[in-house]
């Protein structure tokens, strides 16, 4: 499913980019959180399509451990690796040039995660939602893109890799653990990216 989605998205964007404005982006927030994302946005006037590809390296249940004197002892958590793919359609309300300014963006997201418990777990999720944000040039061909949104994981399935039995992924939280885990069905994205304008 991941390969089909990626290939279809690439072909769609390539057919759309013949005379389009092209921006390539790096999500600074995800990079700092060990979930690096890069994206390509192509469009003109008020409309664009954007393909986001990301990898997940952050440990599952990661937390920093300190002793009684405040000395850092290390991190806890289980090794995790995953893929995060998003296809967005952006509508810009009043662009200054092209594909910039305030925007509204419906999106589709696919995420695959492997967590190395003693019996490893693999999870597939598919969701949809809406984002709102602002994009603009800072100087020359460099700019910023700030977005926030809300979505819902329409499909979510995790299973043990060895036996294939269903599994429920939950994290341990110091406070309100049950409430926090119940929120896993919602997708609440925040993105702060820098971009380079490479064509148009």
- Distance of alpha carbon 24 from alpha carbon 35, whole angstroms: 17
DSSP state, residue 182: H
Q: Determine the structural domain holding residue 141 and report its residue range.
A: 2-199
Give residue-wise pLDDT tens across range 98-107.
899 999 999 9
Give residue-wise pLDDT tens across range 144-190.
999 999 999 999 998 988 888 887 766 655 555 566 667 788 999 99
- Distance of alpha carbon 150 from alpha carbon 164, whole angstroms: 31
Q: Which residue has the tokens 């921006």?
A: 23
Give residue-wise pLDDT tens across range 113-124.
998 887 888 999
- Distance of alpha carbon 123 from alpha carbon 120, whole angstroms: 10
- Which CATH number does the domain housing residue 118 bear? 2.40.160.20
Count of domains observed in the chain:
1
Q: What angle do CA 113, 119, 121 make, to 5 degrees?
A: 20
Task: Enter the tokens of residue 101.
Answer: 């300014």
* pLDDT at residue 136 in the model: 94
**Predicted TM-score of the model (pTM):** 0.79
DSSP state, residue 69: T
Label residue 73 by pLDDT band (50, 70, 90). Answer: low
Phi, psi of 79 (to 5 degrees): -60, 135
Q: What's 4-68 look like in SS3?
A: HHHHHHHHHHHHHCCCCEEEEEEEHHHHHCCCCEEEEEEEECCEEEEEEEEEECCCEEEEEEECC
Give residue-wise pLDDT tens across range 15-51.
655 567 899 999 999 999 899 999 999 998 899 999 9
């Amino acid at each position: 499913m991941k390969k089909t989605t990626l290939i279809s998205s690439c072909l769609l964007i390539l057919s759309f980019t013949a005379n389009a404005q092209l921006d390539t982006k790096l999500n600074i927030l995800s990079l700092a959180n060990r979930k690096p994302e890069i994206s390509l946005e192509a469009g003109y006037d008020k409309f664009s399509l954007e393909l986001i590809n990301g990898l997940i390296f952050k440990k599952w249940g990661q937390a920093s451990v300190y002793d009684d004197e405040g000395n850092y002892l290390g991190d806890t958590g289980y090794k995790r690796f995953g893929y995060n793919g998003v296809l967005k359609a952006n509508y810009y309300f009043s662009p200054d040039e092209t594909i910039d300014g305030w925007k509204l963006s419906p999106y589709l997201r696919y995420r695959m995660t492997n967590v190395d418990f003693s019996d490893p777990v693999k999870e597939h999720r598919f969701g949809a939602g809406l984002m709102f944000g602002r994009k603009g040039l800072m100087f020359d061909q460099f700019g910023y893109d700030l977005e926030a949104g809300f979505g819902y994981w329409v499909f979510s399935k995790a299973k043990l890799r060895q036996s294939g039995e269903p599994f429920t992924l939950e994290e341990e939280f110091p406070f309100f653990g049950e409430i926090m885990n119940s929120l896993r069905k919602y997708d609440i994205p925040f993105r702060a990216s820098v971009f380079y304008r490479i064509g148009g």
